[in-house]
Amino acid sequence: MNLTLAEKILLNHSRIDDICPGEFIECEIDLIMVHEQLGGRIHVEFEKLGLTKVWDPEKIFFILDHWIPAPTISAAQMHQDARNFARKYQFIHNYSDQLNQGICHQVLPELGFARPGMLIVGSDSHTTTYGAFNCLSTGIGATDVSVVFATGKLWFKVPESYKIALNGEFKKGVMAKDFILQYIGDISTKGAIYKSLEFHAAESLSMDSRMTISNMAVETGAKFGIFLPDARLEKWLKFHTKESYNAMKPDENALYEKTYNYDLSEITPIVAKPSSPGNIEKIENVEGLEIDQAFLGSCTNGRMEDLRIAAKIIKGKSVNRNTRLIITPASKRIYQQAIEEGLIEIFINAGAVVTHSTCGACIGGHLGVLASDEICISSTNRNFKGRMGAPSSQVYLASPATVVASALKGKIADPREVL
Amino acid sequence: MNEIVGIAYILGDDISTDDIVPSYTLTMRDPREMAQFTLKFIDPNFSNDITGKNIIIAGENFGTGSSREEAVNVFKILGIKAIIAKSFARIYYRNLINNGIPGITLNWDETLFSSGDRIKIALHDGIISNISKKKKITFTKLPVFITCILEEGGVLKKLLKNG
Ligand code: SF4
């Protein structure tokens, strides 16, 4: 056989015996993640089907994270609808009342729900994040969620795969975010529409870094962004789950439509200018641009690795007087660990605002919305027009190291100079 | 569903779901209210400008970004019958088809379509006619799998019918 990871996992979840890119198949879903943006509306779709129960209340992971606690009446209303729906259909893994959990894509793996070989879908485009754990995972819309709720199955078009080999290690001040921005810039935001990105990484690449890469795989248009399993993943799983799993590797002579090779030691700090994640620039060319706000957080970069480097840069120093720095840990667990390691104190002493774990500023929802013409450097994944606030506000995407280095100077700054 | 006739409205490249449905409207409960904000950041008068037009013709990577299906629903509410684009973002394309709205991938240029042109799409034959400009162009026919969903008026209706 010559199957890629995506082909193998799709095949495992279907009833066919052979698989070929381009064909339409039906697959059984192992887990579905839903957050409030759909949870509130889905009942309209689902109830059209006239069903009284969901296919498997064990296999639904339900969480509120985008607007928590509700900042407006309309958000509160949406949450109420979502909670009512989850109660009515008796979801087992229902976190809609535990507002302190964090962002869906961080919480789900932390609680051991993302395990190798699984096929996971979610009501959010960054569901690709679980690819870091050797899961085949992707985002779907409300109607697809209704179909899964009703049947546990979903149609897929089998994607062609791109192999991306990652060798070497990042130099000081360079992070996984810089690599993925570079890759998006290299192949463009439409360079991998409908493709599966398969990352062959060295064991030295941390799980946090892999999550950042899988998270932003979708920014190339890709359907999946999956990593091969290795000892580092095994170790992570030991710590996070007791359940068994079926780690998958591609066949040795798997057929890839394209192959890319990156030496991570050659990557340098990258910034994506407004208003596309593919609009990349080397830090040298944007350095010195004055900023109003710096945001460190989101499902892309709100993890321990990110907070640790931020603390290293900012320890004993102060955020520039004309800039505000907002830090949002991606989950409660991360928040707690950051407290234990003394990072939160470092941030607060430096003048940063540390918020509870939520999507918050990333989606321009609350806790850091931008005013007209304001400029923000952000560790998030999208800088579309108006994404973080007013339509004339501008978002520059960068690594956590670059975000915090910039907050210190009040201008976009090269983190290699302050480390 | 084979024949769709309507008036064209042209949009550019990389129209994201954040453009179509700005994030701050997402908590609105009434889809009709939300539809008033469609593409607000691109064209503040869009919800008026689109009146009387019902076939969107867009550039590359249409619907890039989040999975919000509202970005399909608002077009449905505004009466859009089909979307032609140079390429579609993956989730957006699924959402379109699942809602029974044909998405047609076609490499086109300004000589072929302008806003206000009268367009006829023959879905099964793979032919788009620009009646106003008296031009015809063929496109790769949709796979049978997709046309079956469209015939039923969307994936939920198909599910209801076939169980
Ligand atoms: S943190 Fe941002 S990108 Fe991630 S799920 Fe929340 S809104 Fe989406």
Give which of A265, A266, A263, A268 is closest to A166, Cα–Cα.
Answer: A263
Checking if the pLDDT of B29 tops 70, the result is yes
Q: Which atom of ligand 1 is the closest one to the Cα of A298?
A: 1
Q: Tokens 């100079």 — which residue?
A: A417
pLDDT band at A39 (very low <50, low <70, confident <90, very high): low
CA–CA separation, B73 and A286 (whole Å): 39
Burial class of A71 by CB neighbour count within 10 A (0 to 12, 13 to 18, 19+)? middle
- At B112, which CATH number? 3.20.19.10
* B67–A141 CB contact, under 8 Å: yes
Q: What residues of A are in contact with residue B90 (Cβ under 8 Å)? A: 193-194, 221-223
Report, as an integer, the average pLDDT of A205-211: 98
Report, as an integer, the average pLDDT of B121-130: 96
CA–CA separation, A313 and A416 (whole Å): 10
CA–CA separation, A132 and A224 (whole Å): 10
- The pLDDT tens digits for A374-388 are 999 999 999 999 999
At A44 the pLDDT is 75
Report, as an integer, the average pLDDT of B109-130: 96
Q: Structural domain tally of chain B?
A: 1
Q: Tokens 């799709």 — which residue?
A: A10
Residue A126 Cβ inside 6 Å of ligand 1? The answer reads: yes
What counts of helices (H) and strands (E) characterise chain B?
7, 7
Per DSSP, which regions of A41-124 are E strands? 60-63, 93-95, 119-122
| pTM over cut 0.90 | yes
- The pLDDT tens digits for A396-416 are 999 999 999 999 999 999 999
Residue A299 Cβ inside 6 Å of ligand 1? The answer reads: yes
pLDDT band at A10 (very low <50, low <70, confident <90, very high): very high
At A210 the pLDDT is 98
Nearest to B27 among A72, A193, A223 (CB): A72
Cα–ligand 1 centroid distance for A299 (angstroms): 6
Q: Whose CA is nearest to atom 2 of ligand 1?
A: A362
Domains of chain A with CATH codes: 5-263 (3.30.499.10), 270-417 (3.30.499.10)
Average pLDDT of chain B is 94
- The pLDDT tens digits for A276-305 are 999 999 999 999 999 999 999 999 999 999
* B156–A189 CB contact, under 8 Å: no
Checking if the pLDDT of A237 tops 80, the result is yes
* Domain extent for B116: 3-162
- The pLDDT tens digits for A322-331 are 999 999 999 9
Nearest to B98 among A144, A364, A382 (CB): A144
Checking if the pLDDT of B83 tops 90, the result is yes
At A40 the pLDDT is 59
Q: Measured between CA atoms, how close is B110 to chain A, in angstroms?
A: 21
Q: ipTM for the complex?
A: 0.94
Q: Which atom of ligand 1 is the closest one to the Cα of A302?
A: 1
